[in-house]
Homo-oligomer: A and B are copies of this chain.
């Protein structure tokens, strides 16, 4: 019997309830049970239950939430599936390397924390906004002339690689040891809100594009840094110091 590991599959805006059931079955086949549904079109549904086959327990315990942010709030590491081979901002790992990372990070997760894999809609994948919580992208190697994998097939393959990575024992450690647990998505959100306040207060704006764009850039590279909670606190502390000093100096006006 395998020890449980806190690895979550998050299905975002899924159109077909049958796919949700098939994902539940694929997860259970690979000893995974934590399923979260973001804004599914139809759920629960008879078609989902039929396709889940013997995995109705996974389906029954699935949580439904309205946003990706809520789905990963307690997650210290988030990977998003993609069909792209390269990306401007994210590291792209193939499914095998990604599974090793996920397992290792799940093993070192703080009590109550989890790691997550995001799956986008059947037709359009994930939006940039939904990608904001991700630390890296996961890609399944496939025929370049016919890449379009069904979502349940993708979940099956990723679950399988996770199963293989767990089975093969510890493997070579690739991560630097941490003195504190990784920051969770919630910690990042508070950090980015705080940073946005300071940016507004000092009038730091993108000269060529919208402020949203600038913030998105900053989020991407800070996500990439994979901050631990101490490091996130250092940044929060610096932001607080900047705000205090400005107020002491009488710089209250925006």
Binding site for B on A (CB under 8 A): 1-2, 22, 25-26, 28-31, 53-55, 85-94, 96-98, 139-150, 152-153, 156-157, 160, 163-164, 167, 171-179, 198-199, 201-204, 214, 217-218, 221-222, 224-227, 230-231, 234, 237-238, 241-242, 244-246, 248-253
Out of B31, B148, B157, name the residue touching A156 (CB < 8 Å): B157
Out of B98, B173, B218, B224, name the residue touching A226 (CB < 8 Å): B224
A221-B227, A246-B249 given; 14 more Cβ-contact pairs under 8 Å: A31-B143, A53-B150, A85-B172, A86-B174, A87-B177, A88-B178, A98-B173, A141-B164, A141-B172, A142-B163, A224-B226, A246-B251, A249-B253, A250-B251
CA distance A225 to B163 in the complex (A): 29
Q: Distance (Å) between the CB of A194 and the closest chain B CB?
A: 13
A144, A153, A174, A224: which has the most chain B beta carbons within 10 Å? A153
Return 28 A-B CB contacts under 8 Å, by A number: A22-B150, A26-B153, A28-B143, A29-B142, A29-B147, A86-B174, A86-B177, A87-B177, A88-B179, A91-B174, A91-B175, A92-B175, A92-B176, A94-B172, A94-B173, A139-B172, A142-B163, A152-B153, A156-B156, A157-B157, A202-B242, A204-B241, A204-B242, A214-B234, A221-B231, A224-B226, A245-B246, A249-B250
Q: Distance (Å) between the CB of A173 and the closest chain B CB?
A: 5
Q: Distance (Å) between the CB of A206 and the closest chain B CB?
A: 9
CB nearest neighbor in B for A248: B251
